[in-house]
Amino acid sequence: MKSIITKQDISIAGGKTQTPVARWALSGLALAMLLASLGVSIPNVALPTLAQSFTASFQAVQWVIISYLLAVTIMIVGVGRLGDIVGHRRVLLAGIGLFTVASFLCGIAPTLWMLIVARVGQGLGAAILLALTVALIRETVPKERTGSAMGLLGTMSAIGTALGPALGGFLIAGPGWRAIFLILVPLGILNFFLVHRYLQIHRPSGKINRSDFDSLGTLLLGLTLAAYALAVTVGNSHFNRFNVVLWLATVLGGSLFVLAEAKVASPLIPLAAFRNTVLSTSLVMNALVATVMMTTLVVGPFYLALALGLNEAGVGLVMSVGPIISTLSGVPAGRMVDRWGASFVIIVGLIEMAVGTFALSMLPAMFGMGGYIAAIIVLTPGYQLFQAANNTTVMMDVNTDQRGVISGMLNLSRNLGLLTGASVMGAVFAFTLGTMDITTAHPEVVANGVQITFAIASGLIVVAAVISMGSRALSTRP
């Protein structure tokens, strides 16, 4: 089986000079990333309002968030592969259209469950945006500027994360909760225009037919991921028969998926791809890093509120430091990748993250909120360095007809890391407190739990760094 990662240099129209058309095309990809990020972040602040508007419980309204994340996680590899077969630009346009229409349906939904169904459609559209924006970078910018473009996508993702809660709160206080979805409609229309007008048409390889789409593999992978995601989210708060069924379904579905992929002529994910050291190590590192970053989002608010005694506004202000730093450091991180090389920047980013997570385990206990912010200021640029370099490493030499599925796998590994971080590291934090009811824990106990949890997180980053250095040593071996 031919390797999906080669050493060939795929030329970009326009050579080394980025034309105005290419800049507008890149703007379209950046806006697509922003839309997908806003789709995650902007509805979070609306949950209390939705509960009141629909007279629903928290358990019900949380599906407004879960349904979106499930759709993205389940479909992101499949839609990436579909882009490889049908055409990246064509599928991206369909994804933007779906996201825009679903956003409108969310905004006019008369019932909570119709809103949740519309959010599933929005999540499917977002899966296409996330998978194919990264895949299309190599067809849009010169090879030597790939890192900068990846950094721009990281910046747009961070802007969406930082802007979403503030914009959502402003709109809810003014026009109402429906506006948080309807505001995405004109942005989606603009995004569709930019991509349709300026993004070059990609014609799939003649060796690939639409009949090559692995429907069985896509179904099995989707069911497996759905079972895992539900097990670590909905079923994580208690271990009962339903939780056992979810974990058994995850194992069974994963086993059937591997068997199916080994037999099908054109698999969704070629198992031989995992023999490629660059790809396999990048996916593992991506998941580990995402696990650690989710730990800051899960554990951080409890530390700030319970150990430091900050109110909701104070917690929100401190938690906004990370996204703001990400916004400022994304593009510079990409430029560093172009200048110094992706392999070197990966190590630099991981070292910076290891220092940041270790600082989170030590500085807050000594300096309080100032120590916490200082550690985040160290950690976050390291994350952007890693993301830009890791994505560039993987996508730089992927065959054109495999970029969609590989981009989907990168995003999937990140999503699985986020889900695992929220579940496992949240459980570790609760275990260190000696109670599942975190709100009743004493401030000193919470501070101690933060130290232990982030010490473990620092260890995970060290593991990622060791994997990176080992991969680099293997790749340079004659």
Q: Using one digit for the tens of pLDDT, what is the confidence trace for 157-209? A: 888 887 887 788 888 888 889 999 999 999 999 999 999 988 877 665 555 56
Strand-pairing partners, residue 230, are: none
Is 378's pLDDT higher than 60?
A: yes
- The second-level CATH assignment, the architecture, of 19-201 is Up-down Bundle (1.20)
Specify the CATH class of 272-478 in words. mainly alpha
Residue 31: the pLDDT is 94
Q: Spell 132-158 as b/e; 16+ CB within 10 A means b.
A: bbbbbbbbbbbbebbbbbbbbbbbbbb
Is 128's pLDDT higher than 50?
A: yes
Band of pLDDT at residue 439, cut at 50, 70 and 90? low
What number is the average pLDDT over the span 272-277?
Answer: 79
- Separation between Cα atoms, residue 105 and residue 93, nearest integer Å: 18
- Separation between Cα atoms, residue 128 and residue 24, nearest integer Å: 20
Residue 369: the pLDDT is 85
Q: Are the C-beta atoms of 259 and 224 separated by less than 8 Å? A: no
What number is the average pLDDT over the span 59-71?
Answer: 83
The domains of the chain are located at 19-201, 214-265, 272-478
Angle CA 359–363–365, to nearest 5: 135
What number is the average pLDDT over the span 440-459?
Answer: 85
Handedness of CA 470, 472, 475, 478 (dihedral sign): negative
**Fold identical between 19-201 and 272-478?**
yes
79-106 pLDDT per residue, tens: 888 888 888 889 999 999 999 999 999 9
DSSP conformation class of 425? I
Closest CA to 384 of 79, 153, 208: 153
Q: Model's pTM, two decimal places? A: 0.81
